[in-house]
């Protein structure tokens, strides 16, 4: 295979380095796979291009348009995934490892696209929460909103997931409307560059949205401002160096770190060798040791079991590890490939030697490994290494030193409180897992350890078949953790998007803030002229379009008929004496759902029209009881709109139900789908 000369992508063009190239070696045979370098790039020009060209182009798009763009990127990657799999094997990854990286990365983009279109408005401003009433009469209000940062996101990624690691950051960044400069780790940059090239060639990205650096970053960080974000994945040492950069400190540049950590797993005290959870625990520890050859920031480094089960757990782990076949990941039957480089293997061997001063190796040999289909000397192969530390409280390295490879240490605990304290000695991790069938055990662990871990997976026989496992971050959930793990968060659905946006508190009149936020606020002007709001198509309906209904008196007969018809004969509706004894009611009162039904009867226009469906209520509150003889009326106001596709859009209506004295009886948001 002829070495690839990797290209940078800057200011809308592909650039080869003008010199200073570095060789990247295959993890399988040590041959040169690629050459990297960034000499000759103008890093200031790259940041300027992102801010002046990419940023405005992305911000001109709505959340939904950006989400559809991200979906197109994912589709392009999936269409050419085999090209990426072919390169992935050179990193030491098996097909399963590559699937997590390549298809898992595309899946993350798909997930973000879906959430962006489902949970965000088809708009450029994101409203954050309800308005805050700042004056007695309601003429002065506040509203929190999010807008995209007007800078650039610098993504500095680790070597272990060259595709997924890039895409997990790009999904939320692009949907937020912020351009990115991607800096992959050199050891696997050839796979990142290939994926990046696919995205560029998809033809859906506006100019300046993405740029790529495949070498050193030079003075890039010197040109950052308060509008920029640095999102980093890697070692604690590198993270500290970056975070301490004088410009990042001076400009208060947002810094999101996802650092390697000593993640732990615990076998609950309720589990015996016969329990399903025991076998699940053994399988998960071995899987986390061998997937990506243990080169995962989420991999299990410390495995804790009840002291009485230490020997049984060791025997079970060794038996399962003995079935692992190390070798060229392209060879059938191989279940664990190589580390990413011989330099990485040397580092792991050094770390194992440190750990072995406190723990003894009970499986594997850091210096010897049987390799299938390749040379143990030429490649970066390493045996899985299981250590055992019988007194974890006397140890220090087992809680501080991470061997970033197929290495884990088995340790005992005396009781659940001891297990929690030992897990927390890791000083913060990305993920901890617990194997138990006892909710009381899980509750105690969550209360004792939750603050030290970004994610806590609880596995039992009921969820095991569907569980994604200890080491699988999901786009729906945050990926990050406190302390040693970096104190940052990535992904987490819309939470991940908000990292690249600024929350601003707006203050002003309801009319003004309605116009800015595109969401109607009480006391803003209403449009009450005909026709009925339900007669207007999505494109014709304006925010603030309102209907004030006539009143309807609710009788005792209405209440009794509703109770008989629905079967809801709760005493507050049917027993005068019992209802009067309730401090919340003056006597018999109308059902809440009767009020909703009568309210709908007052404002619904029954003829076929643009309203296609009523699909839900949000924020429903019953605020004052309605007694027989009270009269209710409704104010229905178009609150916000969000187009869903070419055929229909979502309309959110503000519904206020009041009585004859003008007091609020009920309030809620009605959701309808309206034809375009």
The pLDDT score that the predictor gives to residue 540 is 93
Q: Which of 179, 176, 197 is nearest to 57 (CA)?
A: 179
CA distance 406 to 281: 17
Ramachandran quadrant class, 483 (left: phi over 0; alpha: psi -120 to 50; beta: rest):
left
527: which residues sit within 8 A by CB, 6+ positions away? 542, 544, 545, 546
Residue span(s) of the chain under CATH 3.40.309.10 come to 263-469
Chain centre distance of CA 450:
18
The residue annotated as part of the active site, out of 271, 297, 389, 423, is: 297
Return the beta strands (E) in 357-466 as ranges. 360-363, 385-388, 407-413, 429-435, 453-459
Q: Say if residue 612 is exposed, middle or buried (CB neighbours under 10 Å; 0-12, 13-18, 19+).
A: middle
526-675 has which fold? Thiol Ester Dehydrase; Chain A (3.10.129)
The residue annotated as part of the active site, out of 11, 103, 193, 258, is: 258
pLDDT per residue over 493-514, tens digit each? 899 999 999 999 999 999 999 9
Residue span(s) of the chain under CATH 3.10.129.10 come to 526-675
pLDDT per residue over 430-439, tens digit each? 999 999 999 9
Residue span(s) of the chain under CATH 3.40.605.10 come to 41-260
Q: Is 258 a catalytic residue?
A: yes
Residue reference for tokens 């924020």: 619
Yes or no: say if 327 and 374 are a contact pair by the CB < 8 Å rule.
yes
C-alpha distances in angstroms, 325 versus 89, 100, 119, 337, 471? 16, 19, 45, 9, 21
Model-level pTM? 0.90
Yes or no: say if 388 and 314 are a contact pair by the CB < 8 Å rule.
yes
Chain centre distance of CA 433:
18
Low-confidence ranges of the chain (pLDDT < 50): none
Q: Is 251 a catalytic residue?
A: no
The pLDDT score that the predictor gives to residue 1 is 65
pLDDT per residue over 123-167, tens digit each? 999 999 999 999 999 999 999 999 999 999 999 999 899 999 999
Q: What is the CATH number of domain 41-260?
A: 3.40.605.10
Q: Which of 315, 318, 418, 401 is nearest to 357 (CA)?
A: 401
CATH architecture of the domain with residue range 263-469: 3-Layer(aba) Sandwich (3.40)
CA distance 384 to 361: 11
């Amino acid at each position: 295979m002829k070495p690839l000369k990797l290209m940078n992508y800057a200011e809308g063009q592909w650039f080869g380095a003008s010199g200073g190239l570095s060789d990247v070696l295959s993890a399988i045979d040590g041959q040169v796979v690629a050459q990297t370098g960034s000499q000759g790039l103008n890093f200031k020009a790259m940041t300027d291009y992102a801010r002046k060209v990419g940023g405005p182009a992305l911000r001109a798009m709505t959340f939904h348009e950006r989400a559809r763009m991200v979906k197109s990127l994912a589709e392009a990657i999936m269409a050419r995934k085999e090209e990426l799999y072919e390169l992935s094997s050179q990193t030491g990854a098996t097909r399963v490892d590559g699937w997590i990286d390549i298809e898992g990365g595309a899946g993350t983009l798909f997930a973000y696209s879906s959430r962006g279109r489902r949970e965000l408005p088809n708009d450029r401003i994101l409203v954050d929460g309800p308005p805050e009433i700042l004056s007695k009469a309601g003429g002065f209000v506040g509203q929190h909103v999010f807008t995209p940062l007007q800078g650039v996101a610098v993504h500095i990624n680790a070597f272990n997931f060259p595709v997924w690691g890039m895409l997990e950051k790009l999904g939320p960044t692009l949907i937020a409307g912020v351009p990115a400069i991607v800096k992959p780790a050199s050891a696997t940059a050839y796979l990142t560059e290939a994926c990046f090239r696919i995205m560029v060639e998809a033809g859906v990205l506006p100019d300046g949205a993405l740029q790529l650096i495949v070498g050193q970053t030079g003075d890039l960080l010197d040109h950052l401002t308060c509008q920029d974000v640095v999102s980093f994945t890697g070692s604690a040492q590198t993270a500290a160096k970056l975070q301490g950069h004088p410009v990042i400190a001076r400009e208060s540049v947002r810094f999101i770190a996802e650092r390697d950590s000593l993640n732990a797993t615990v076998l609950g005290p309720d589990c015996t060798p016969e329990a399903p959870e025991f076998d699940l625990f053994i399988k998960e520890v071995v899987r986390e040791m061998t997937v990506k050859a243990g080169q995962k920031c989420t991999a299990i480094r410390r495995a804790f079991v009840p002291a009485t089960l230490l020997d049984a757990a060791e025997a079970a782990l060794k038996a399962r590890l003995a079935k692992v076949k190390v070798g060229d990941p392209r060879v059938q039957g191989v279940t664990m490939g190589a580390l990413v480089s011989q330099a990485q293997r040397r580092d792991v061997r050094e770390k194992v030697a440190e750990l072995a001063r406190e723990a003894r190796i009970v499986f594997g040999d850091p210096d010897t490994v049987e390799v299938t289909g390749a040379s143990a000397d030429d490649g970066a192969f390493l045996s899985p290494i299981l250590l055992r530390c019988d007194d974890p409280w006397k140890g220090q390295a087992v809680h501080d030193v991470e061997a970033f490879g197929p290495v884990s240490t088995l340790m005992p605990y005396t009781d659940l409180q001891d297990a929690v304290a030992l897990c927390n000695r890791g000083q913060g991790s990305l993920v901890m897992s617990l194997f138990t069938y006892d909710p009381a055990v899980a509750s105690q662990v969550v209360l004792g350890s939750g603050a030290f871990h970004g994610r806590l997976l609880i596995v039992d026989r009921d969820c095991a078949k569907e569980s994604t496992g200890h080491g699988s971050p999901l786009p729906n959930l945050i990926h990050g953790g406190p302390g040693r793990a970096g104190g940052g968060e990535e992904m987490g659905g819309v939470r991940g998007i908000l990292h690249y946006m600024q929350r601003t508190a707006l203050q002003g009149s309801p009319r003004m803030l309605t116009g800015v936020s595109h969401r109607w606020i009480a006391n803003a002007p209403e449009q009450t002229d005909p026709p009925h709001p339900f007669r207007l198509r999505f494109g014709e309906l304006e925010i603030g379009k309102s209907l004030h209904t006539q009143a309807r008196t609710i009788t005792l007969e209405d209440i009794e008929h509703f109770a008989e018809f629905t079967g809801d004969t709760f005493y507050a509706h049917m027993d005068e004496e019992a209802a009067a004894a309730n401090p919340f009611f003056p006597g018999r009162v109308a059902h809440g759902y009767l009020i909703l039904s009568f309210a709908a009867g007052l404002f619904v226009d029954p003829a076929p029209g643009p309203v296609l469906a009523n699909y839900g209520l949000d924020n429903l509150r019953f605020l004052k009881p309605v007694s027989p003889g009270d009269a209710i009326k409704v104010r229905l106001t178009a609150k916000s709109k969000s187009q869903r596709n070419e055929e229909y859009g979502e309309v959110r209506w503000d519904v206020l139900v009041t009585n004859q004295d003008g007091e609020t009886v009920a309030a809620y948001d009605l959701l309808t789908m309206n034809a375009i």
